[in-house]
Structures are given as structure tokens and as C-alpha cells.
Amino acid sequence: MNKIKIGLFAIVLTTFFSSCQKYLDVNSNPNSPTDVPPNVLLPNTSMGIGWANANVIGLATGLIMQYNAAIPTQWQSYDVYALDGSFGNQWNYEIYNGCLNNLVLLISKTNSTSPAYSGIAKIQKAYIMAMATDLWGDVPYSQAGQGLTYPQPRFDKQEDIYKGNSALGIQGLIDLTKEGLADLDKASVLTPSSDDLVYGGSLVKWKRAANSLLLKLAIQLTNVDKPTAKSLINSVIAGNLYINDNSLDLNVPFSSSVSNQNPAYVRDISGSFKNNECLSSRFLTLMRSLNDTVRLAKFYTKPNNVFTAYTNGNNTTAPTAASRSVYNTYVVGTTGEAPARLITNFQTQFILAEAALVLGTTGDANTYYQNGIKASMKLAGMLDAEINNYFTTNPTVVNLAGTQDDQLKQIITQKYIAWTGNGYESYNDYRRTGYPVLTLPLNAAGDDPTSVPKRFPYIATEGNSNPNQPNPRVKTNVKVWWGQ
């Protein structure tokens, strides 16, 4: 497993450096830069967040959430919940020493003179640190990315990371996102353009993404602070500046260039570790039960016009590689060019549906729910006629009915389907709501073979160097603060 991770880390370094190669002619000696300007840092932070989401974190959560099942090789430990000893490179290099350090530097360089950059960086920082705390719980946050001042940063409580704690000098993710939004309205000496790989320098689109990020953060509070969640969501709705069209999605782009392909494509399709996972039989069963195989064919291949799946945790002979259904072009592209989808229109619609249902926020839950399904189907590549036909022939699927919990199950199940390719987001929803309904894999292992992991285990290297990491480590069957 260590060799796998080192190999993937080498790929991410190549991705980072190739994405900013054209910007490196700013010093007299480009091989020994004395400073890194904002237009070099921003492509790195953008690509880094996309990579962190879609690489091994995406692999592991995709298996835990049973989109895919692991063929009996190196990925099977994730499939059966044997997570201890994993994710060291993701913690060290992809989140902290990669994204976060560059974001802290970008903010410090631009906060006073070029807030167009610092605003984007604060929004990105809120996203990547949400990912860290969502997966691990209490993590270094307020003191992280400041190695000279805090070589052993404290582990902030997840509640403080979300909501802030003024007594400890902690600015929460919600306020950090709002501050980023405010920065985007200020006069700025430097403004991004082509170095903004996500929106091409459009600050209005970044504002929409930030407001949708606020919706994402707010819905995470539904188990622990409904009043704050409701107030924040209603405020975003009233502002009417959030992602409400597929063209506004926050996507991190990849390309067909070998050094800059989607990590899922490199991992599963073209790289040296390919053919080690395929469509889960559980996900196939769900999609068939909902008569949703047209959309499924956009998500997964159909060799010889047949979906061929495998059971999570199975350790018997798998279908031949040529016959397996694997990620299709929607997730990985034809040659690796599919983006990492981080904040989307369908996500926003499903959040608003859940909020209207559970919190009583503005709007009709069923309308938002249907908008979410349509947005996902359209994004996947279904034709309008196919979408209309699905809605006509499956009224019990596309209309909310029953108790509040029945309707919540419908919303989260459809959101789960739409998130194919981004297991991190559906893993959040599962731990928060209990939906979709999952069946334990065969041969389950790990800290607690009787339950789906409620968090990632802390990594040994951080514990060895930082006495602030909880010791003994928290078991994976202990819920995170906002979980159930």
C-alpha cells in the first residue's frame, strides 16, 4: 500500500508542477525562485483540492459508500473497513503540506492588497478544511499551515472548526467563507484571469460557489444546531446568489495530458493499479430498483451491453477485467479529462429540498427535489426526452411521499446517486442521515466489523510528531460531532 501511495503522490506533484509551468518565468532564475506570485499559487491550490477529493479519499469513500467494489487486491482493505494505517499521504501531502500551506501563503500575500485572490483562497481553505474535519473529526485547523510558529499545532474541536471559538482565537469555516465573500467585493490590485482554472477569473461565479458552500456547511449542522442551519440557509436563499445551473458548478478541470489526468482515470483505467475495482452489485441493484439504468450507463460502462458488477468484500474470483463495468466518461472522461466535481447545482437543489423538509426553510421541498434529479440527469448526459420519460414513467420515484423520514430517504438516496464519482460528499450525508441504506460488506474487518466507519482513523506519522493528536486514537465507530 505504501508503494501505491508514493506512486500516486508522485503523480500529484507532476500535476501541480505541470499546471503552473507556464507561470514560472517570473524570476531571473526560474530554477531558484525567490518568491511565488499569486498567479502561480492559485492554480496549485485549485488542482490540489481537486486531486485531494478525487484521489485516494475518493477511492476509499467510493468503496465504503458501495458505488464500487474492490477486486481482491490492494484496494480491498478500504472495501472491508480495514482503514488503520491508511491516508498518511492524503493527510500530509494532499491536504496539509499541499493545499493548506499554499492557501495560507496565498492569503497572507494578498489579503491587504489583492483581496480578489485572498477571497478565493479563503473559500478554498474552507472547503479543504471541511474535508479534513468531516473525515477525521478534530484536526489541526487554527494553528495549521504556520509551521514556524506552531510546529505542533493543536487539534481543534470539530464544533469550533465549524462554528468558531473566539476565546481560543478560532474563526469557524462559516465565518471564513463569509469573509472570503466579503473580500471578493473589495478593490483589488491583482485579479485572477486564466490562472483561475475553475472560473477564469469570474468573481461572481466564485460568490455563487461560496454561497453554495455555506449551504453545504449549514446542512451539516442539522443534527447539532438546527437554528443556525435554518438561519444561514434562509439567508443564502434570500440573497439569491448561489449555484443554480449546471454551468456554474465548481469543477476542478483535468485534461487528457498524461501529467494532468483525472486521478480516478489514472488509478482505475490507465495506470499501473488499474482493474482493481468495478461497479458494486449493491449500487447496481439500487439503480435497477429505481428503473434508473439509463443514467447508470452514463456513470458506468456496459461491456457487451451488460452491466457486470461485483459484491463488496467478496474475495472469490471476480469477473474478467474486460467484462467489468467501471467508471464511464462522466466520471473519468474519455482519456482522463473529466473534472473533479466539488460543489454542484444538483447538490444545492438537494440541500434546499432537505432544508425545506426538515428545517422549514423557504421553498417547496418537492420542487427542489425534482430540480436536483433533473440537474443530475442533465449533467450526466441524458437527453431531455429521456429525462421527461423517466419522470412520466416513475412518478413514485420523482415525487416525495410518506413520512418526513420517508421523504428524507428519497432526497438523500437521489443525492447519493447524483454524487457518483464523489464519495466524500455522500459519505458525509450517510453519516449525518443514515441514508442511503447500506448493507455491510462480506468479510468486514477494521475497528468495528458490525458498522460502517463513522470517521477516518488518525495517521501514525502525525501522532509520532505531534503530541496534540488524541492518543489512543479515536476508533472509527465513534461518530463525528455532527454525525448521528
In a domain, 282, yes or no: no
Contact 341, 422 (CB under 8 A): yes
Residue given cell 518568491 in the structure block: 35
Counting Cβ atoms within 10 Å, is residue 149 exposed (0-12), middle (13-18) or buried (19+)?
exposed
In a domain, 315, yes or no: no
Q: What is the pLDDT of residue 10?
A: 40
In a domain, 308, yes or no: no
In a domain, 427, yes or no: yes
- 3-class secondary structure for 265-327? HHHHHHCCCCCCEEEEHHHHHHHHHCCCHHHHHHHECCHHHCCCCECCCCCCCCCCHHHCCCE
Q: What is the pLDDT of residue 7?
A: 41
Q: What is the pLDDT of residue 272?
A: 80
In a domain, 478, yes or no: no
**How many residues in total does the chain contain?**
484
Q: What is the pLDDT of residue 273?
A: 81
In a domain, 55, yes or no: yes
Q: What is the pLDDT of residue 35?
A: 80
Range of the domain at 61: 2-258+338-465
Neighbour count for residue 383 (Cβ, 10 Å) = 11
The DSSP bridge partners found for residue 252 are 340
H or E segment to which residue 369 belongs: helix 365-380
How many independent structural domains does the chain possess? Answer: 1
In a domain, 32, yes or no: yes
Tens digit of pLDDT at every position of the chain (484 positions): 333 343 433 434 444 434 333 333 334 444 445 589 999 999 999 999 999 999 999 999 999 999 999 999 889 999 999 999 999 999 999 999 989 999 999 999 999 999 999 999 999 999 999 999 999 999 999 999 999 999 999 999 999 999 999 999 999 999 999 999 999 999 999 999 999 999 999 999 999 999 999 999 999 999 999 999 999 999 999 999 999 999 999 999 999 999 899 999 999 899 888 899 999 999 999 999 999 999 999 999 999 999 999 999 999 999 999 999 999 999 999 999 999 999 999 999 999 999 999 999 999 999 999 999 999 999 999 999 999 999 999 999 999 999 999 999 999 999 999 999 999 999 999 999 999 999 999 999 999 999 999 999 999 999 999 999 999 999 999 999 999 9
What is the CATH number for 191? Answer: 1.25.40.390
Q: Which of 47, 452, 10, 94 is nearest to 272 (CA)?
A: 10
Q: What is the pLDDT of residue 34?
A: 52
Report how far apart, in Å, the C-alpha atoms of 276 and of each of 51, 66, 148, 257, 284 are: 20, 14, 41, 23, 18
In a domain, 291, yes or no: no
Q: What is the pLDDT of residue 248?
A: 98
The DSSP bridge partners found for residue 69 are 278
Contact 109, 342 (CB under 8 A): no
Q: What is the pLDDT of residue 28?
A: 41
